Amino acid sequence: MNGYRPSPLGLALAVLLLAGIAGLSRVPYAAEPDDRALLRLSWRYQAPADADCRRPTAEELAQLPAHMRNPDACVRTPTPFRVTARVGERWVVDDTLRAAGARQDRPVFVYVDVPVTSGWHALEVGFTSLAPETGGMTAGAPAVALSWADTVRIEPHEIVLIEYDRASRSLVRVLP
Amino acid sequence: MIRTLVNAALRVLRPLDRAFNRLYGWRFNPLYQSGTLAVLMFVILLVTGVYLLLFYRIGSPWASVAAITDQAWGGRWIRTLHRYASDAAIVAIVIHAFRMFAQGRSWGPRALAWLSGVVLTGVFFICGWTGYVMVWDVHGQILAIEGARMLDVLPLFSEPLGRTFVGPEPLPGAFFFMNLFLHIVLPIGVGALLWLHLSRLARAPLMPPRGLAWSVTAILLGLSVLWPIGMAAPAAVLGLPTEIPLDVAYGFWVPISRALPGWAGWLVIGAGSAAVLIVPRVTRPKPEKRPEPSTVNGRFCTECYQCSIDCPYEAIRMVPREDGRFDYVAEVDPELCVSCGICAGSCKPMGVGPPGRTGRDQLERVRQFLRTERPGPDQVVVVACDRSADWLVAGARGDAIEYSVPCAGSVHTSAIELMLRRGAGGVAVVTCPPRDCWSREGVKWLEARVHGGREAELLPRVSRDRVRLINGAEPGLEEGLARFAADVRTLDLPAPEREVELDFECDPVPEEERPSVSTAR
């Protein structure tokens, strides 16, 4: 092999070094403490926006490019939402969320992790629409008030996942 | 501050180099071969990756990898070798970067190699990341979730990416397809960046010496067979990972990231990246201390092409000349020249080199040296560069007279001839190990000029018994010098010449060996 004659010590060290690299590829890492669990709120909600609509005149429509001639011209005011969560007596989440997207025309995305200890907990989650911040309401967005509450025993390393169920239009706990 | 850091890094590197030289010899010192070893690992990754790709299923990632791992005669060790090679590549890259930093080989024309190397490392790292996510075990899941958490801080996506990895539905196949696509495409990017990384080097070696390459591969293969990796638990949506077999090379940041808010993680990444990317700027010497690039004195250039061939950085090209003496003249691109001075040793008529270090400048310095030191016929002059002198531990010189040069590889053979004809008994040139020549190919060309008849050669009239090239990294430097001095004392030496006439005639490189010339000026 090209005159390569490593000393036994050199060979042993090479094996040791490469074995070290191999060993470092599987270092046990305790990602979470033993009694850690999680309350996870994760859902998307297509928020109905308040829309102030009117029908443009024929002249107005004619001035627009063909692909932009929408028969209804609406000024939409997205509805903000309040998401809350309580573990026992402690409020752990109280956020105001708005619809995503630059024009706020995408759904509201809820994604919050709340670390909890394992054991029995009274959990309460709420998702309610707030009054629109601006504009009048013609199309009118119905008020939303969703909630979920239960007293559950959470196992160590368990994730209690709360989602929005579109079929029942309610917050539900996803069970394994 | 940065100079202190560089010096400290060099102080760490030197003893390690010496220790590894003792163990493996300079030819196979893995520290000298860190860059080529990284490429070797990349090749192993490509070969083993192709096999793994045949059995991977995006519809059932964890189960298909588990099936591969169950193949006791193939998949298990191939997957393990794939993993070990990816880790060894990261280690080799880190050593390579540290080496370049410690040796100050990161600024000026080398900045491109440094910066492309940083990007290359980043792409390589992301490629490894996608590889872990492909498995979709708890390790891959935590890498994916942490990565998503970091990305969710940026105002890029309207929907939090983290939501992709939660919920009762299985992850869409599109996610694993995208991941697999990246894992295949990114190595193409690595190849392209590697080309850029090496683009300013002439004759860049890609592979380590065969013996070292086979040895490292064999050891990794043995470890893969004897100590295969198993399967971590599959990713779980409704459970927190308990204990993860973390790969430090690719997951070292996870514990740090999990302890920090997402924006702080970006702050750390930004600061770290900036610190690495500004290395070429901060390690660059001040203008007054910066070595000047080589220049060509057209009057002496005889169109032999040798300097343009020998330049390790492809900084010299032949361009048409207009004075009618020859067709072409050498031209140095100052943007590419690192001022190594190799061209000064390559040019027989001494028409090229960094200011103050051309062959003619070398002769003038030698004359001054001979006037003050007056070496006798029983004395040896030890020529050593600033770096190779490091090998000359106290006492190694004996009664030899030391003559220091910026780079032993740039020593002109006429300078050696002049020393001998003016009375020195012998000349020993102590060089760095060829694989660790800071000017890349200086030692190789010097040896070819002294013993191989390469252009700008040491003329046949100079007795080779009186010249010795000594690799400082070879064992027994002290004894070698003492033996040479003793040998010289036994020689029947001619009387010193008062007026020495040197031969500046250059033999042109045969036409078929010439590089292509540039017609642009």
CA distance A23 to A2: 30
Which domain does B177 fall in, by range?
Answer: 2-282
**Which chain B residues have a beta carbon less than 8 Å from that of A22?**
84, 87, 223, 227
Nearest chain B residue (CA) to A109: B159
Is the same domain home to B210 and B263? Answer: yes
CATH number of the domain that residue B10 is part of: 1.20.810.10
Averaged over B91-120, what is the pLDDT?
A: 97
Residues B101 and B242 in one domain: yes
- In angstroms, the first-to-last Cα distance of chain B is 42
Give the number of A-B residue pairs with CB atoms closer than 8 Å: 141
Residue of A4, A9, A104, A165 to mutate for B, most B C-beta atoms under 10 A: A4
Q: What is the ipTM of this complex?
A: 0.89
pLDDT for residue B114 = 98
Residues B271 and B340 in one domain: no
Min Cα distance A123 → chain B (Å) is 17
Residues B353 and B252 in one domain: no
Does B220 touch chain A if contact means CB atoms closer than 8 Å? yes
Check B160 against A109: CB less than 8 A apart: yes
**What is the C-alpha separation between B284 and B104, in angstroms, rounded?**
8
Verify that B166 and B310 share a domain, yes or no.
no
Quick one: pLDDT at residue A54? Answer: 85
Q: Would residue B245 count as lying in a domain?
A: yes
Q: Which of B87, B152, B214 sits opposite A24 (nearest CB)?
A: B87
Q: Which residues of B touch A10 (CB under 8 A)?
A: 23-24
**Is A14 in contact with B215 (Cβ distance < 8 A)?**
yes
Dihedral (Cα; B123, B125, B129, B131), 10-degree rounding: 80
Q: Tell whether A152 lies on the interface with B, counting CB pairs under 8 A.
A: no
Q: What is the mean pLDDT of chain B?
A: 92
Which amino acid is it at A33?
P
Q: Specify the pLDDT at position B163.
A: 87
Neighbouring C-beta atoms of residue B121, cutoff 10 Å:
20
Tell me the pLDDT of chain A averaged across its residues. Answer: 87
Q: In terms of domains, do B304 and B424 share one?
A: yes
| Rg, Å, chain B Cα set | 28
User: How many domains, in total, are found in chain B?
Assistant: 2
Question: Above 80 in pLDDT, residue B34?
Answer: yes
A29/B contact by beta carbon, under 8 A:
yes
Q: What confidence tier does A150 reach under pLDDT thresholds 50, 70, 90? A: very high
Query: Domains of chain A: which residue ranges?
Result: 34-50+78-174
- Predicted confidence at residue A135, as pLDDT, reads 46
Query: Do the domain assignments include residue B90?
Result: yes
Q: pLDDT for A27-71, tens place per residue?
A: 999 988 889 999 999 999 987 766 778 888 889 899 989 898 888
Q: How confident is the model at residue B336 (pLDDT cuts 50, 70, 90)?
A: very high
Q: Are residues B188 and B212 in the same domain?
A: yes
CB distance from B214 to chain A under 8 Å?
A: yes
Residues B257-308 have pLDDT tens digits of 999 998 999 999 999 999 999 999 999 999 999 999 999 999 999 999 999 9
Residue B329 in tokens: 């003249």
Reply yes or no on whether the pLDDT at B309 is more than 80.
yes
Number of C-beta neighbours around residue A176 at 10 A: 10
Predicted local distance difference test score (pLDDT) of residue B51:
96
CA dist., res. A118 & res. A121, Å (int): 8
- Is the confidence at residue A134, as pLDDT, over 70? no
* Contact between B359 and B353 (Cβ < 8 Å): yes
| Per-residue model confidence (pLDDT) at position B500 | 80
A168 close to B (CB below 8 A): no
* B377 and B339 belong to one structural domain: yes
One-character DSSP codes across A100-163: -STTS-SPEEEEEEEEEESEEEEEEEEEEE---SSS--SS-PPP-EEEEEEEEEEPTTBEEEEE
Nearest chain A residue to B239 by CA: give it. A158
Contact B167, B175 (CB under 8 A): no
Of A13, A101, A157, the CB nearest to B158: A101
A16 touches chain B (CB under 8 A): no
For residues B474-482, average pLDDT: 86
Is residue B325 domain-shared with residue B372, that is, in the same domain? Answer: yes
Nearest-CA distance B27 → chain A (Å): 9
One domain for residues B144 and B255: yes
Residue B250 and residue B170 in one domain: yes
Q: Per-residue confidence at B393, pLDDT binned at 50, 70, 90?
A: low
A34-50+78-174: CATH architecture? Sandwich (2.60)
Among chain A residues, CA nearest to B87: A21
Domain boundary among B282, B316, B333: B282
What average pLDDT does this structure show over B92-114? 96
Question: Do residues B410 and B442 touch, judged by C-beta distance below 8 A?
Answer: yes
Whether residue A1 has pLDDT greater than 80: no
**B234–chain A nearest CA distance, Å:** 15
Residue B316 contacts residue B376 (beta carbons within 8 Å): no
CA distance A141 to chain B (A): 22
Which of chain A's residues have a Cβ under 8 Å away from the Cβ of B138?
31
Angle (CA) A85 A91 A94, round 5°: 60
Write the pLDDT tens digit of every residue in B338-375.
999 999 999 999 999 999 999 999 999 999 999 999 99
Residue type, B214: W
B499 belongs to a structural domain: no
Q: Are residues B268 and B189 in the same domain?
A: yes
Query: Cβ A22–B247 below 8 Å, yes or no?
Result: no
* Residue A165 per-residue DSSP state: E
Q: Which residues of A touch B28 (CB under 8 A)?
A: 4, 6
Nearest CB to B166: which of A15, A32, A161? A161
Residues of B in contact with A37 (CB under 8 A): 240
How close is the nearest chain A Cα to the Cα of B223, in Å?
A: 7
Is A159 near chain B, with CB under 8 Å? yes
Residue B352 counted as domain residue: yes
Q: Which of residues 335-374 of B touch A (CB under 8 A)?
A: none
Structure tokens at A9: 């010590």
Q: pTM for this one? A: 0.90
Is B495 part of any domain?
A: no
